Amino acid sequence: MENLKIAWRNLWRNKKRTLITVASVFFGVLISTLMSSMQEGSYSTMVDNIVKFYSGYLQVQSYEYWENKTINNTFELTEELLQKVSETDRITHVAPRLESFALASTENESRGTILFGINSEKEEEITGISKWLSSGEILKSGDDGLLIASGLAQYLQLELHDTLVLLGQGYHGVSAAGKYPIKGIVDLPAPDLNRQMVYMDLETCQEFYSADNMLTSLIVMVKDPYDLPHARHSLKKIIHEPYRLMSWDEMQPELKQMIEADRAGGTIMKGILYIIIGFGILGTITMMLAERRREMGVMVAIGLQRARLGIILFYETILIGIVGVICGFLGSIPVISYFYNNPVKLTGDAAGTMIDMGIEPYLYFTWLPSVFYNQVITIFVITFLIGIIPVTTSFRFVLSKALRG
């Protein structure tokens, strides 16, 4: 404890040098924390947008469906299955879907479409489909009408209350055909889906495909991506053949790869930042040792053990790191808090690219604890390693040269 007190007093003998070093650690923690928060927040928002809009975090499917997405590879929803999934820990919403393909036709045009049979109330909890409604109204249970994407409506020259003819292949080869009025038009953010998406009430869709009580998937949602591993682990205990549990990263591996590649790039940038911080601290410590060379020589000459001198110098380095890390941590909290509540809006090509991907054009930040403690631990470790240099110097300097210096 006595050595620690001496080290603390020594730091403030040269306040300017100490404050410069603390400032370098402070800004290092602040910038790396801000960068990590922006990265992880953007990833979470990207995943959240995509899974809420289309796939869900998890899906329960028939075992054969993912490899062969036909109406024949559906499964019958039982109360037992629905109850087991709904009561699983961390699960927030469960919604049934029947998804297949159909040819949409009008008097002059036709186009292949993705037909979604949905439970409107359950779907609203997951996708918030009403926010994309540009005209008309949301489907109700038992409706025989359709919601149609605006791009498809424009291509087929359809307006509200017009009639759309759907043709397809039903369950086990049964012919599927019907005429349905347009109850609403939705302007979806993903361009590909906006050109081919049609929504139908689940029961009406099951009747259209002659697939009573059959589903292609049961969409499962969690509160946020960080609850997913726990929920997936719990569901795997109860989901067995003839069912299969699929997570969003298995269904959309390209998105996962894009996030991993971007995260790797961010890691490289933070690595460069850590090197700059490390050299900044190292430079200050080296300068401190050079300036205090005569002082250290005198202290050893009057009887101070080199080991104790090394410990004092080590404590000085560690204390600089601790003060800088604590200041950086406390300083990053209000900054991240501001950006967390006020996401940065993108403009220009960057915004257009994100909109095309179905993602809101904002940079979001996160409060994930690892964003803070990872940076704090990393920079503290760097400071700890640099602290070894003064210890080795205290044993290696030549006393006669130090006294003459």
3-class SS string, the chain: CHHHHHHHHHHHHHHHHHHHHHHHHHHHHHHHHHHHHHHHHHHHHHHHHHHHHHHCCEEEEECCCCCCCCHHHCEECCHHHHHHHHCCCCEEEEEEEEEEEEEEECCCCEEEEEEEEECHHHHHHHHCHHHHEEEECCCCCCCCCEEEEHHHHHHHCCCCCCEEEEEEECHHHCEEEEEEEEEEEECCCCHHHHCCEEEEEHHHHHHHCCCCCEECEEEEEECCHHHHHHHHHHHHCCCCCCEEEEEHHHHCHHHHHHHHHHHHHHHHHHHHHHHHHHHHHHHHHHHHHHHCHHHHHHHHHCCCCHHHHHHHHHHHHHHHHHHHHHHHHHHHHHHHHHHHHCCEECCHHHHHHHHHCCCCCEECCCCCHHHHHHHHHHHHHHHHHHCHHHHHHHHHCCHHHHHHC
> Rounded to whole angstroms, what are the CA distances from 282 to 274, 389, 390?
12, 9, 10
Nearest to 170 by CA among 218, 120, 101, 240: 101
Mean pLDDT of the chain: 84
What is the rounded distance in angstroms from the CA atom of residue 62 to the CA atom of residue 326?
A: 52
Q: pLDDT tens digits, residue range 328-362?
A: 888 888 998 888 888 888 777 767 776 666 566 77
Asked if residue 201 has pLDDT above 90, the reply is yes
First CA to last CA distance, the chain:
30
Beta carbons of 394 and 296 less than 8 angstroms apart: yes
pLDDT at 200: 93
Determine the residue type at 256: K
Highest mean pLDDT among 16-20, 204-208, 225-229, 314-318: 204-208
Its pTM stands at: 0.71
pLDDT at 355: 66
pLDDT at 204: 92
Q: pLDDT tens digits, residue range 123-134?
A: 888 888 888 888
pLDDT at 402: 67
Q: What is the percent of the chain with per-residue pLDDT over 90, rounded to a whole number?
A: 16
Asked if residue 191 has pLDDT above 80, the reply is no
